[in-house]
Amino acid sequence: MEDILKKLIEYPTISESSNINLMNYIDDYLKKFDIKGKLIQGEKNQFNYHCMIGPNEDGGIIFSGHTDVVPVEGQDWRSNPFKLLKKNNKYYGRGTCDMKGFIAVCLSLVPQIKIKKLKKPIHFIFSYDEEIGCIGIRKLIPFLKKLKPKPKFCLVGEPTEMKIINQHKGKKNFLVSFQGHEAHSSLTEDGVNAINYCSKFINYLSEIQIELINKYKNKKYYPPYPTLNVGKINGGLAVNIIPNKCVVEFEIRDTPEMKSELFIGKIKQFLKKLETDMKKKFKNCSIEFEVKNNFPPLLTMNSSNLISLCLQALKTNSTGAVSFGTEAGIFNEIGFETIVCGPGSIKQAHKPNEFIEIKELNKCRKFLHKLIELQY
């Protein structure tokens, strides 16, 4: 397993960069065991990967992980982030925790899986650009919907400290562009201030947040409600010019029970009222609303057969929820019973000197091995 992880870490597969060399390594490794995989191109030089081990039967399980990692620029690393360092029973390197460690565990199990007489197949799906909005897996949706034989379960190996996560928040990113009318700052009646209208919208979003807090409390999450965050704003050229442009980006992290479309509809209605007011002054004014990214929350019921198997394999009786999003919501939306369970702690992800404890990888390996035995 260590040799596999070492190779995976050496490929600097930062989001939006090519992952073809890493995918070729995985493909070559699996070919040694007579496993034929498929590279599925998404963006230029970026690929998803699928392979199946076992019989051509419906009802198997997907082990899924993303191959991209976050950047290291500006971080204070004590070692080369793309060279695996073993120290104090930990592996250091970018992606050790999030989430090449899980992929290494999956690949290390292949020799054992191959000699088993499986009744149902095991699928590996490795994606790209999860870190910037689950882009790769979204490109794979048509392929997954037509996948034959059709798997029944999916396990996404994001770092959960090997806890079974059957609920998480979704994430929806939006960009709103305000087009006002430029004028000299002393002639306020001659212009339409895009920043002023944007500020009215931001104040309205604060009201929406209060409504979300009051309406959708869920103690399984921290914070225990859906969140709304205004993260970026840009507008204006000079203090003596009435700004004709302002752009704001915000996100909603919704819980499974939240009626997201209802709130998005309310936001659009409010923007329409603002736009009407702007157009009364100058007809060329406008507001554009754009969905930049959207991946759904996850909710898999405790009565799920997959959860029952995982509880048995881990010898535990509890499931949990997390506030960060993963690809699991997309798999679940397509129709696969899905959970998140993987080695490492999310607290180590995206940080300088990222690491994973070796005992976590060993626990994951033991868990996957037991899960395969229970199912097959």
Residue 276's identity, in one-letter code, is T
User: How far is residue 77 from each of residues 69, 90, 92, 159, 354, measured CA to CA in Å?
Assistant: 15, 15, 10, 21, 9
Whether 275 sits among the annotated catalytic residues: the reply is no
2, 57, 58, 68: the active-site residue = 68
| Residue that has been written with the tokens 């009201």 in this structure | 207
Are the beta carbons of 176 and 252 closer than 8 angstroms?
no
Whether 68 sits among the annotated catalytic residues: the reply is yes
- Residue 99: asked if its preceding bond is cis (omega within 30°), the reply is yes
Residue 367 and residue 79: Cα distance in Å, rounded? 31
98, 129, 130, 131: the active-site residue = 130
- 3-state per-residue secondary structure call for the chain: CHHHHHHHHHCCCECCCCCHHHHHHHHHHHHCCCCCEEEEECCCCCEEEEEEECCCCCCCEEEEEECCECCCCCCCCCCCCCCCEEECCEEECCCHHHHHHHHHHHHHCHHHHHHCCCCCCEEEEEECCCCCCCHHHHHCHHHHHHCCCCCCEEEECCCCCCCCEEEECCEEEEEEEEECECEECCCHHHCECHHHHHHHHHHHHHHHHHHHHHHCCCCCCCCCCCEEEEEEEEECCCCCEECCEEEEEEEEECCCCCCHHHHHHHHHHHHHHHHHHHHHHCCCCEEEEEEEEEECCEECCCCCHHHHHHHHHHCCCCCEEECCCCCHHHHHHHCCEEEECCCCCHHHCCCCCCEEEHHHHHHHHHHHHHHHHHHC
- Residues with catalytic annotation? 68, 130
